[in-house]
Amino acid sequence: GQQVMQIPQYQHVQEGEDFTTYCNSSTTLSNIQWYKQRPGGHPVFLIQLVKSGEVKKQKRLTFQFGEAKKNSSLHITATQTTDVGTYFCAGNAGNNRKLIWGLGTSLAVNP
Amino acid sequence: KAGVTQTPRYLIKTRGQQVTLSCSPISGHRSVSWYQQTPGQGLQFLFEYFSETQRNKGNFPGRFSGRQFSNSRSEMNVSTLELGDSALYLCASSYIAGVSYNEQFFGPGTRLTVL
């Protein structure tokens, strides 16, 4: 079946270090969405990318969608303790409205 | 606008019982999706309802069912509870317009513990 693999599963960084999580799909995606879930909270939408090769920035966060629309990445520059949480990617394949979710990357930031 | 609300927030049940969880989407959102979240398993999709019709379904046994009412509020029911059903159940609503893919807005979840 359609799968989205997300790596790494866990990442510990020192505050100020950079962080990247990667999403790889077994099938071409129509779009990719990124969500953040703080400990004890619920997923919150961050951004959506729809175009091949698209790059979007939100302050210290940079999101990329691969040329083949099968992979994506989220890069955080100079992490802060407020970045702690689990980052999920999710995408739609074709016209199917069912989102395919990655298992998430849990980020811990040591102050 | 008020966010997605879920009730109850916490629930403790025993094996064999059944449970009903409720979700009220953001006003104007007609799509409601349900997810099960357990540690290490990410978000497991249960089903999606749109305009009172189940539009998508995940790979869960028939013990898991849902419905949506004309005001877009949704309920999910789990019958004959098993220990493995202990999880955080999340509801997400979305505004569907045309063929665009819109973000999902999640509720705070219902933490279900099965003893």
Give the per-residue pLDDT at A3.
86
B58 pLDDT more than 80: yes
Tokens of A73: 């990445």
Q: Is the pLDDT of residue B65 over 80?
A: yes
Give exposure, B71-103, as e/b (b: 16+ Cβ within 10 Å). ebbbbbebeebeeebbbbbbbbbbebeeeebbb
| SS3 category, A83 | helix
Over range B1-5, report the average pLDDT: 88
Whether the predicted pLDDT of A34 surpasses 80: yes
pLDDT of residue B99: 58
Q: Do B42 and A88 touch (CB under 8 A)?
A: yes
Residue scoring higher pLDDT (A57 or B1): A57
- B97 Cβ under 8 Å from any chain A Cβ: no
Residue A64 DSSP label: E
Parallel, antiparallel, or unpaired for β B110-114 and B10-13? parallel
- pLDDT of B46 strictly over 90: yes
SS3 B85: helix
Q: Give residue for tokens 């609300």.
A: B5
Could you tell me whether strands A85-92 and A31-37 are parallel, antiparallel, or unpaired per DSSP bridges? Answer: antiparallel
Per-residue tokens: A97: 């409205």
Torsion of CA B54, B55, B60, B63, to 10 degrees: 10
| Nearest CB to A48 within list B43, B92, B101 | B101
The arithmetic mean of pLDDT across residues B12-41, rounded, is 95
For residue A34, the chain B residues in CB contact (below 8 A) are: none
Question: Is residue B40 predicted with pLDDT exceeding 80?
Answer: no
Is residue A15 a contact partner of residue A110, using CB atoms and an 8 Å limit?
yes
Average pLDDT, chain A: 95
Residue B103 is classified by DSSP as -
**A61-103, pLDDT tens digit by residue?**
999 999 999 999 999 999 999 999 999 999 998 777 788 999 9
Of A10-14, A58-62, B42-46, B64-68, the one with minimum mean pLDDT is B42-46
Residue A14's alpha-carbon distances to A1, A20, A94, A111, B107, in angstroms, are: 37, 13, 39, 6, 31
8 Å CB contact between A87 and A39 = no
CA B69, B73, B78, B79 dihedral sign is negative
- Residue of A90, A67, A83, A9 lying closest to A75 (CA atoms): A83
Mean residue pLDDT across chain B: 93
Q: What is the percent of chain A where pLDDT is above 90?
A: 89
Q: How far does the CA of residue B15 sit from the closest CA of chain A (Å)?
A: 25
Q: From B48, B1, B5, select the one nearest B27 (Cα to Cα).
A: B1
Residue pLDDT, tens place only, B72-103? 999 999 999 999 999 999 999 998 766 567 89
| Residue B1 confidence (pLDDT) above 80 | no
Angle ∠(B20,B25,B31) on CA atoms, nearest 5:
95
Q: How many A/B residue pairs have CB atoms within 8 Å?
A: 51
